[in-house]
Structure 1
């Protein structure tokens, strides 16, 4: 038992030191994330307000199906080493309590907004995600779905839109932005265009 605990502590220390030793580029951090099951981890660096910290990844140890997700101790330590304090999950199995409990062990808050694979978050989902992001803005939020592309890309884009509309001249998102965020299908793109229209209509005249 002692040896297993010691081994876990050594691995955790190695992860922290390795991430610190890197220059915290997305490429470097993603490599360490891959090793502990947090694949395709990347920081979002555009269309946010100063001080905002937003990241994206695949679900922990994703194995091809949304229910194939498991957060190991090493995965949790990696998230903590990156300063993640809040996770938004748009995985269709997001409401499984096992993930919420695993994150809670590391003091990480959890917002489950289940969306089926290749599905489309609703405008209500986008609003809930934004409110949760704002509630945890002093820390860092991570968004994941299953693989970490379409649904995650849609939610990341939505959060960027909301952040842009806090400023005086919000960016007009186009299909190029959706492609850069790996938004997968027309349904997701159309939902984001609808959100953008709503946000512009809300602005003071």
Structure 2
């Protein structure tokens, strides 16, 4: 069962602040210390996440599977890139399927990022948090099924993920900050 927006906000408040009091200070906030302590525990179990990535490699042959885990965020991350031969051609637009498993709450999300290139030069990226484009839905479904099977997490509905929260998550500030930013990443398009 998916936790409510109120329950998820209560969880997020343990790890993110409602002010900038600790910006540019040498000491850490209590929230930062809690997030760091949680990551120290979760990193002891990183082999379990890497096993999930290995399962994705078997289930999605030909695709490049990357680890998008960044301990500054609140989640583990799986990145599914197009098949190697297509990636080598550097198309103008390249899609990446992203699966994030929150370490803060038993929820996950799968979304897509459109990356644009001009030749070999990266031009920009845009995250699409809604349903995956038709040609990527099968891949997104495999990622979702694998996260559910390996971790028992539930998908965070988009309407809850987009709930505004009064928290500062890295450089994401209210009123733009959402539960997505607090539970997963403040930069969903950043999937290099």
TM-score normalised to structure 1 length: 0.24
Q: Which has the higher strand share?
A: 2
More helix per residue? 1
TM-score of the aligned structures, taking structure 2 as reference length: 0.26
